[in-house]
Chain A
Amino acid sequence: MTGRMVNISKRWGFHGVEALKNASPLYKLTMGMFALLALAGVSVGLHGMITGYHHVYGVTREISWGVLISAYIFCVVTSTGLCIVSSIGHVFGGEAFMPIAKRAVFMSIVFMFGGFCIIFFDIENPFRMAIWNVISPNFVSNMWWMGTLYGMYLVFMIVEYYFLLEQNHSLSRLMGFFGLVVGIAAHSNLGAVFGMLHGRPFWYGPYLPIYFIFSAAMSGGCAILFFTTLGWKINPEIMNQRMERAIKAITQVTIFLISVIIFFTIWKIITGMVSEGKHLVIMSFLTGDYAINFWVFEIFLGMVLPLYLLIRSRGNNFNLIMWATGLMMIGIFFMRYDIVIPGQMESVYHSLGVEEAKNMLTYTPSFHEIMASLFGIGFIGLAYFAGEKMLNGHQLEKHEIVPEGGYICPGCGAIHFMEEGESEEDAMKRHHRIW
């Protein structure tokens, strides 16, 4: 017997459709609801596509990016964030972070697909994109780079995930590194899509590319905490010590990142108040139309409450962490919305003092837009719940599934396979290329 000849499904911790069949009725119901949501979303989206978006969407000539773009950004921010947070462990060797890597990379891919689902219904000619992006590229366009870099990012993440499953540490690490570099490039570039529009003072400048990266890391921390603690809830098992340590470490990092974002937000507001171009928009955050979005969702749900709850949880009260990060996800969605819509609220002719541009422009998401966004969210929910069962909670170290010839590495906690005649220690050295 050579040590590596094991059943793939066992090696990958793949429980298959069987696991879904054995799930509790409530679990199936939840999955069914997400499936229904995705189905409803895609049908309404397709209906909109056939009818013509300008009949059914709330976006206008002046506010041409609406809730779909906000939801897309929410998804890709979370995806990049998951990649960043997971890289601390399995790319840079932060041991405490290692156990979350598999779930994080899996969810990062899922969120990226979710984002693509959503933007599919925002781009008017998505099929042309595949052709003209390739044969007529504009290398100075941030939008072109966005498509290209996120495409590359997705490929790296998928390859990385494959090697993670394969327990190939060096290759998964390498791919993880490339994924991280491309992901950061893609994501800061997404900030630049907004930050390089001259005529939009609310967005213009280097602030957004930088903010997007930190904000992504925060979302990533939040998301992995949420999905891990939720996974612990829905797969009733005792959490092992390594996982507990990982959650504690990520809670600390997330607390730090929330503080960074609070700092960013404070300066955004203060500098915006004295800037002619931003003043009106900032005031609508503080006291105007967007005050509820800003104070209740962005500040309270997105930052203050999770900060307080996470500190109180001390990193080991999983229920509290789950609630804190779950609510925070909602807050983060509003953070994205509050970047996209208000940036377009002030007409470009406002400063000219003409009657037509006196008032702030308004936007209300239409039913079609909301449903098309929920298509992506439904897909993500469905993939998450399916993944938890089918991939066995993204863990390999549970003794019942350690395949023949494998053992749990005391260093990284993953499963290693011994070659013939090898001791566990030799195998570990070989896997980690230590000596």
Chain B
Amino acid sequence: MKFPKINFDNMKNEGTSSVTPQERRKFLKLGLAVAGVYAGGKILSLTSIVGTAHASGGSSIVKKYPYNPHYSMVIRQSLCIDCEKCVESCNKTNHVPEYGYRTRILTKKYSGTLDKQVEFIPVLCNHCNDAPCVRACPTRATFKDPITGIVRMESKKCIGCKTCILACPYDARYFSAERRAVDKCDFCWEERLSKGETQTGCSSACPTGARTFGNLTDPENIVYKLVHQLEEQVWVLRPADDTKPNIFYMKGNMRSVDNILNGQKFKYFDPDKV
């Protein structure tokens, strides 16, 4: 894949709320292949995010991701129906106590809209490349896995100071009395991935395909394809904190997404898949 030489990394991602499709189209006509620059100074498209998310301070766009497999999740927000099967599956897989959670579904209500009044936003640990929690931990009890990029816990080292809980801008951590350590999403590394499975508990339980888990370094992978398409905006939560998150969000209800995905079309509401 070819990237145009534009210094996207120094531009600031300011969010995606105010951009109309016309503006996007206008921009696309400029002939920029991958990234989107909004005339008002905003970068919208995935490349800027991928760029800021993964460049290590250099000004060029990084074509290589720092981890392999670089685990990542794309959340197609419009597909989420708040059935909470993912949360259930996560709790069961990872033995999450009833007072805690590793992932949850947030509800956003709109008024004055014509199509929908409510949207559901699944949130979980973003496995940040510049993870504030990892920097904050005094004993390196929480660490970034050097191979997969998963932010994991070494429970026996956790002194329970709870600094990481406050350092996390995504509320992804809680103290688990059972483990006597902070607990958080590890992309099911301990319970599934390290045992050879390829999907997390939540992504495999999701009946609509709202959660898509995969490897960002593999051009054949669905996650790669979703992040590297241009038709739909991709964003991350709280970009201003500059943690370089690995959970990407998109609306995900356009037909074109499925066209791009070719063979990997997701079966919406496939009754067999529960």
- B-contacting residues of A (Cβ < 8 Å)? 52-54, 61-62, 64-65, 122-126, 128-129, 132-133, 136-138, 140-144, 146-147, 193, 196-200, 344, 347-349, 351-357
Contacts and interface: CB of A to CB of B under 8 A. Distances in A.
Given A61-B174, A198-B241, A352-B106, A124 B123 contact: no
Contact of A198 (B107, B109, B132): B132
Contacts of A353: 108
- Sorting the interface of chain B by its residue count into under 10, 10 to 19, 20 to 34 or 35 or more gives 35 or more
Q: Closest 4 CB pairs between A and B?
A: A124-B160, A199-B169, A144-B138, A132-B139
Contacts of A354: 106-108, 121
Given A61-B171, A352-B237, A124 B180 contact: yes
A141 B180 CA distance: 21
A110 B184 CA distance: 38
A349 B123 contact: yes
12 contacts: A65-B166, A122-B161, A124-B160, A125-B181, A129-B161, A132-B159, A138-B140, A141-B137, A143-B161, A348-B170, A348-B238, A349-B123
Given A124-B160, A129-B159, A147-B138, A197 B108 contact: no
A339 B141 CA distance: 27
A132 B181 CA distance: 13
B139 A136 contact: yes
B138 A141 contact: yes
Contacts of B180: 124-125
B168 interface: yes
A62 B139 contact: no
B40 to A, nearest CB: 18
B165 A61 contact: yes
Contacts of B171: 61-62, 347-349
Nearest to B121: A354
Q: By CB atoms of chain A within 10 A, which of B109, B121, B160 has the most?
A: B160
B124 to A, nearest CB: 12
Nearest to A349: B106
Contacts of A124: 158-162, 175, 180
Contacts of B157: 128, 132, 136
Contacts of B163: 141-143, 193
A193 B162 CA distance: 12
Given A133-B159, A356-B106, A144 B139 contact: yes
Contacts of B181: 125
B160 to A, nearest CB: 2
Contacts of A123: 159-161
Nearest to B132: A198
Contacts of A199: 132, 167-170, 238, 241
Given A124-B161, A125-B180, A352-B237, 18 more contacts: A61-B165, A61-B171, A65-B166, A124-B180, A125-B158, A125-B181, A132-B138, A133-B139, A137-B138, A140-B135, A143-B136, A143-B137, A198-B167, A198-B241, A200-B169, A349-B106, A352-B106, A355-B107
